[in-house]
Every structure is written in structure tokens, then in C-alpha cells.
Structure 1
Amino acid sequence: MKVTIIVTALAAAFAGPVWAHGANNKRDHPHLERPHVHERTTIVVSCFRGPWKDVIWDRPNSNFVDSLVNAGYTYPTAHAIAERVCRDDSLVGNPGAMKAAMERIFHDAASHRNRNH
């Protein structure tokens, strides 16, 4: 009697991982087979510059911060990135450099986005 219980318990213990693996098999769950789709992320780099060429009143517009949040950044991180880009005096009057700076930040793994975009 004890031998039967022990053999049954051992069989169940060894069959458990096999059953668990089978339950997570992609063939059994077609929703796991969906191809990974890369969504295109649009970030609107928009800054209020003020009437001067000097960096005095420069602040990010709300659509800049919101687009960073939509790209996966937390609000504090998005606001910090937007402030940094808008207050960089080397980017004033140079939209191409602003775009390049934002692309560099976006593709930097250390930029701490919440989601993988």
C-alpha cells in the first residue's frame, strides 16, 4: 500500500513539469504565436523658445512631454528629457540637431522607458 502511494506520488511529481510545459505550448495557445509587431512611435519635439536666441524662457510644450509619455517614459522622466532638449543652447534654431538629439536619447538603453518600443 505504501509502495503504491509512493510510486503514484513520484509519477505525479515527474509528470507535473511535462504537463505544465504542454499547457504552455504555443501550438495549444494560438494567441502566443502572434508575430511581434513594432509600432512606430512619433515624438513631437516642441519647445517654447521666447523672443530671444538665448536660452532664457525655453520650456517644453505639453505635446512634447505627452508624446514622450506615449512612447513609454514616466511623466517625470519625460519632463526631464524634454527640459534637457529644450534648454540645450546648442540646439536652438537647429531642428535637425534637435531631432538627432531626441533619436539618440530614445535609442539609448539607459533612457529608462517603461515599455519596449
Structure 2
Amino acid sequence: MKKLLIGAIALAGLAAPVFAGTAYAYKFKDHTIYVSCFRGPWKEVIWDRPNAKFVDSLVTLGYDYPTSHAIAERVCRDEALVFNPEGLKSEMKRIYADSPEYRKR
């Protein structure tokens, strides 16, 4: 029984970092973009993916769904932006400024 308990605690300790993520909110004009990425337990980009909140905030901003998902995927999988809030903010500002033709507004 003692081994089972120790094993369960060790497994929980190993699994906890897997559910780590990043979430930041950035205000652009009168819209807020929620940059939210699922991160693996490592600094390396292995299975990083955008959370729905990130994609939905881009859709609300005026991008269509495929473009929103592509932007979010690109931002979440950029190795230079992992745990880099200022880098994320400047990248989202750059994307917002460089792609007005893809927004409906």
C-alpha cells in the first residue's frame, strides 16, 4: 500500500508540469487579445498549441477562423516566445499592424 501511495504522488508530481500554460491579455485599440498557449513541461516547443480563448479573441478582433488559428498556432509554436511576455506582446502588435487586409473590421 505504501508503494502505491508513493507511486501515485510521484506520478502526480510528474504530470503537474504537463498542464502548464501561458496566458496574457494585451489591449489593442479597443480589443483585447488573450494570448493563451498550452505548454508542455519543457522549455522546448514540443506539443505547444493555442488554447481556444486565444483563437476566439482573434475571431472577435475580426479575423476569420482559419486565419485566427494559423496566427495562434504560429505564435504558440515560436521558440523565441516561450515564457516571453514582452516578446508575445510585440509579436502580436506586429501581426495586428501587418495584416489589416485579413480582418473584417
Q: CA deviation at 1:109?
A: 3.7
1:82 pairs with one of 61, 72, 95: 72
Q: Residue 101 in 1 paired to residue 91 in 2?
A: yes
Q: CA deviation at 1:42?
A: 0.5
Q: Once superposed, what is the RMSD of the aligned Cα atoms? A: 1.3
AA of the residue aligned to 2:70: A
In the TM superposition, structure 1's runs of 4+ consecutive aligned residues that sit over 3 Å from their partners are: none
Displacement of 1:111 after TM fit? 5.6
Alignment partner of 1:57 is 2:47? yes
Aligned counterpart for 2:60 among listed residues 54, 64, 70: 70
Between the aligned partners of 1:70 and 1:94, the Cα distance in structure 2 is 24
State percent identity of aligned pairs.
Answer: 65
Q: Does 1:114 align with 2:101?
A: no
User: Any idea what SS the aligned residue of 2:57 has?
Assistant: helix
Deviation, 1:107, is: 1.2
- TM-score using structure 1 length: 0.62
Of Structure 1 and Structure 2, the greater strand share is in 2
Question: 2-side partners of 1:95 and 1:111: how far apart?
Answer: 26
Partner-residue secondary structure (3-state), 1:43: strand
| Aligned pair partner of 1:43 in 33, 37, 42 | 33
Higher radius of gyration, 1 or 2: 1
Number of residue pairs matched by the alignment:
77
Structure 1 equivalent of residue 5 of structure 2: none
Specify every segment of 5 or more residues in structure 2 that has no aligned partner in the other structure, as ranges.
1-28
The alignment partner of 1:46 has SS state of strand
Paired residues of 1:68 and 1:78 also in contact (CA < 8 A): yes
Pairwise CA distance, 1:108: 1.2
Letter of the 1:89 partner, please give it.
E
**8 A contact 1:47–1:60 mirrored in 2:** yes
